[in-house]
Amino acid sequence: MKYINRNDILTVFGYSGQIMIGIGLMCLVPVIVDLIYFEFNFLGFLIASLISIALGYTFNKLFKNRGKFKLKHAMMVSSFAWLWASLIGGIAITLITHLSYIESVFENMSALTGSGITMFTDVESLPFSVLFFRSFEQWVGGLGVVIMVIGVLTRPGTASAKLYQSEAHEERIKPSIKNTLKKTFNIYSIYTIAGIIAYLLAGMPIFDSICLTFTSISTGGMAIKNANLEYYNNYIVYIITMILMILGATSFIVHYKIIKTRGKSIIKDLQFKVMISITIIASILIYFTSHIVPIETIFTVISAITTTGAAISTSKNLALWPSFTVIVLMTLMLIGGSNGSTVGAIKLVRVITFIKGVYRHIKEILSPEGRVLPVKISDQIIPEKGMVESGMFITLYLVFILISLSLFCLYGYDPFKSLFGIISLQGNVGLELGIINHGLTPFLKVVSIFNMWIGRLEIYPVLILLRAFFEVFRR
């Protein structure tokens, strides 16, 4: 049976037009930085921007009479938007830095998804405009490329609601999508401004303060220094970054309720409590089994569970950590932070639901036949469908990691380091042990791009887009 027809494709093209225009406008923002620093690299950004805007405008005009917008359309538009943003950004990076196009697409996908792994060997030699562009992409990607665009360009309605849902966002602060986006953006902006001011007070230059805030609150972690945060050698900077990472990994609904409940919402939130508890336990385990400096231990643990990937030591140093501590970090990178935040990975709510579902199954076996045992999270009963979906997602997530690991091993890479890198890529983390770099073969770079893409969109939207693609070309 064919689930995708000609009208579906036209509908996707029509709605993609607005997103493409928004992505084109996003590419113009670094031009301001380029002119401030008299770098005169703006032509690369302009060309990329004009291509996206022109094609987006064409799509809007040609496919104006769009059919009914369904969830499958939203998922295809969302998947295409993230890929398109990476492809367009790749044009700008290639034109300005002369990095190969595949590596430039990798760089943009890494920035947009908050993965934070770079293809550049010397980021400090890059123009300020490119450094800003990478940081700005992370800030935009933290909320979501599609969310940012529909918040500015799209009118409220069913389409906006479907697009919001397609980018792995379920919870709403307000009943309407427009108000939810407005409140979310306000919270995000307030924390961003606060972060910039905090870094400035810590003695950091204005450019570094802006870029580091963008990458920390978005849980992106892509550095503008070769030594990452170790460059600053400042405990205050480390503490500010840890606070921003935790804020970014906490649900926006919790942030919204903080004022109304005088801080009680963050204490009562199960995901937040579990995240902090895991952070404390993991930090203690790593410290007492490795005796690594406490600040480095805590920082790396927070960076891993919030899927930020920022570090105060290089990947070469991280590769020297004992195997047990690396396994702990891999576990944290798999789990991730709260649902409804900027983090990647599986997310705490799914892990909690899955564990409670397993525990319920054990109790059912031990209990008298016919006894109903509901699963509750924060006094809310989780429907059977929710538990099944959590289990299916976790299984699918691990299957893609296994497939990618097999491909890396096929090319002769160390299985342990490859597993760490793949978990980091798919979880949009950024910590790695020195193998995910420009030295990868072109094929594995494409595989890595795919891992980051499916990780950020939580797999299903990408699979739906690929299914549509194959159905169209099969005819």
- pLDDT grade for 171, boundaries at 50, 70 and 90: low
Question: Where do the domains of the chain lie?
Answer: 1-169
Which residues lie across from 375 on neighbouring strands? 382
Does position 159 have pLDDT exceeding 60, yes or no?
no
Helices (H), 41-176: 42-62, 71-97, 101-112, 128-143, 145-152, 158-166
- pLDDT grade for 18, boundaries at 50, 70 and 90: confident
Q: How far apart are CA 41 and CA 33, in angstroms?
A: 10
Structure tokens at 361: 């199954």
Q: How far apart are CA 78 and CA 23, in angstroms?
A: 12
Eight-class DSSP state of 412:
T
Which of 4-8, 265-269, 285-289 reaches the highest mean pLDDT? 285-289
pLDDT digits (tens, 9 = 90+) for 402-427: 999 999 999 999 999 999 999 999 99
Question: What mean pLDDT comes out for the span 337-347?
Answer: 89
Q: Residue 462's Cα: distance from chain center in Å?
A: 15
- Residue in the block written with tokens 């342990």: 416
3-state secondary structure 208-264: HHHHHHHHHHCCCCCCCCCCHHHHCCCHHHHHHHHHHHHHHCCCHHHHHHHHHCCCH
Q: Considering the entire predicted model, what is its pTM?
A: 0.92
Does position 262 have pLDDT exceeding 90, yes or no?
no
Question: What mean pLDDT comes out for the span 39-62?
Answer: 94
pLDDT digits (tens, 9 = 90+) for 173-213: 555 666 777 888 889 999 999 999 999 999 999 999 999 99
- pLDDT grade for 376, boundaries at 50, 70 and 90: confident
If one compares 474 and 449, the residue with the highest pLDDT of the two is 449
Within 8 A by CB and 6+ apart from 295, the residues are: 235, 238, 312
Least-confidence region, from 80-84, 155-159, 250-254 = 155-159
Share of the chain above pLDDT 90, in %: 64
Share of the chain above pLDDT 70, in %: 91
Sign of CA dihedral 244, 432, 112, 225: positive
- pLDDT grade for 253, boundaries at 50, 70 and 90: confident
In angstroms, how far is the first alpha carbon of the chain from the final one? 13
If one compares 5 and 49, the residue with the highest pLDDT of the two is 49
Does position 73 have pLDDT exceeding 80, yes or no?
yes
Question: What mean pLDDT comes out for the span 125-146?
Answer: 92
pLDDT digits (tens, 9 = 90+) for 282-310: 999 999 999 899 999 999 999 999 999 99
- Taking residue 58's Cβ as centre, other Cβ atoms within 10 Å add up to 13
- pLDDT grade for 146, boundaries at 50, 70 and 90: low
